[in-house]
Amino acid sequence: MDVVLELNHGNKNKEEIEPARDAIIAVVIELIEVGQFKQAWDAILGLEGFLEHVPELAVFSEDSYESLGESFPLGVRRLDEKQIKGAAAVWRRIPDAEQKNILRGLVKSPNSRLLRILPQVIKSAGGETRKFLKQLMSTGEPEIIAAFLDLVVQILGKNAKSILDENLKRPEEDIRRAAFMALSKLKPEDAAPEAVRLLFDKDAQIRSRARYVLESLKDPRLVKIFEKGVYGKPFSLLGLDEKRAFLVSAGRLNRDAGLVFIRKLALQGNVLSSVQTKETQSSALQALGILKDSDSLAMLEQQKKSLKNSQLIKSAAAYAISVIQRDEKGAQVKPNVESKEVVSSDAGDAKVDAVVKTAEQPAEESSPESAEQESSVAS
């Protein structure tokens, strides 16, 4: 290949350059098929160097499309981390129509590794390919939509918003998860109204992401959403670990407002309280430890020693004390400085206002179906 490039250096004769181009592309396609994209990309760069003398010749001829369409998917499946940049560069040189054909082939037999690598390779696409992807998101099989939604959002950007909105309404769990996850990456505030609705979704990953989205907005008004959630039936069906995570998110969302709310929950029970009240109190006590609330140490000591408390509550208080004191011994606990990354634009404020308004509406029935029974008291 290097010999062909050298022999045609400076050549402006189309009749001589065209067969040389075809010979080089044949080697490029062989390299692509075995996953050697870096070498393939180097060859393409060399080829483009002498094709500049014959601008009417493209890098890939129409005669090479079929073999390119067969080789690229095979090569992508053989990619290692060192070849990803080369694969992304090669992809950008593939004509739009052939990009579409390649993706059509990849859609037929996706696997987890392929889906992990593709967003690193396919970061842009031509008009026909984008049109194909939009159509795929409305007509594809549910598992295909869920698998490729993140890639589609990466390629379409904000133009994918309508696609995400439609797929958030789908009944299929995998599609809803993928749509919400993708929307939350575009802009957390855009996903915030959905996050409120999905705080108690039946899927644990969606619930976790919903908490993260709201937490990231750093608006004290949103603590009300968490406070309201604690007193609903869906919260009572969560396991102890997730109840604790729920309260920790409220504290991280806004430390001042969150801690007031959590401290209140930490004092609400006694030995005669219901199982659910005890679980909520235990989760609140542990959350105070995770949030390093050193101002609550005296109260935690009282809860640990109180004869009115069950062993569950005493253990939770002891855990919180140990976490706070461990960090105090390692380094002086510094006052929490609330994040300044609050949505400050008019558009951002409007979105947060909409989230707060949503929280004030009657809660939808969205309790976690996976938790069929109330979690038992840990002893």
**Which residue segment(s) compose the domain that 177 sits in?**
125-186
Count the domains in the chain: 2
- What is the distance between the alpha carbons of residues 371 and 379, in angstroms, rounded to a whole number? 20
Domain's final residue, options 73, 107, 141? 107
Q: Which pair of tokens denotes residue 260? A: 């007031």
Return all residues near 201 (Cβ < 8 A) that are at least 6 apart: 176, 207, 210, 366, 368
If asked whether residues 100 and 142 sit together in one domain, one would say no
What CATH number is given to the structural domain containing 131?
Answer: 1.25.10
| Contact yes or no for 178/203 (Cβ under 8 A) | no
Q: What angle, 0 to 180 degrees and rounded to 10, lies between the N-to-C axes of helices 173-186 and 204-216?
A: 20
pTM of the model: 0.64
Strand stretches in 47-149, DSSP E: none
Residue 278: inside a domain: no
pLDDT score of 359: 53
- What is the distance between the alpha carbons of residues 268 and 266, in angstroms, rounded to a whole number? 6
Residue 176: inside a domain: yes
If asked whether residues 1 and 103 sit together in one domain, one would say yes
If asked whether residues 95 and 140 sit together in one domain, one would say no
Task: Kindly tell me the sign of the dihedral angle through the C-alpha atoms of 207, 212, 214, 215.
Answer: positive
Helices first, then strands: H and E counts in the chain = 21, 0
Domain's final residue, options 186, 219, 238? 186
If asked whether residues 102 and 135 sit together in one domain, one would say no
If asked whether residues 146 and 96 sit together in one domain, one would say no
Residue 290: inside a domain: no
If asked whether residues 90 and 35 sit together in one domain, one would say yes
pLDDT score of 289: 96
pLDDT digits (tens, 9 = 90+) for 69-95: 999 999 998 988 899 999 999 999 999
pLDDT of 40 over the 80 cut:
yes
- Report the length, in residues, of the chain: 379
Residue 32: inside a domain: yes
If asked whether residues 20 and 67 sit together in one domain, one would say yes
| Contact yes or no for 295/251 (Cβ under 8 A) | no
Lowest mean pLDDT among 29-33, 171-175, 347-351: 347-351
pLDDT digits (tens, 9 = 90+) for 235-252: 999 999 999 999 999 999
Residue 72: inside a domain: yes
Q: Which candidate, 80, 136, 131, places its Cα nearest to that of 107?
A: 136
Give the type of residue at 355.
V
pLDDT digits (tens, 9 = 90+) for 342-359: 333 444 556 666 666 655
Q: Which candidate, 204, 206, 196, 274, places its Cα nearest to that of 239?
A: 204
Domain's final residue, options 136, 155, 186? 186
If asked whether residues 23 and 96 sit together in one domain, one would say yes
H/E segment holding residue 122 = none
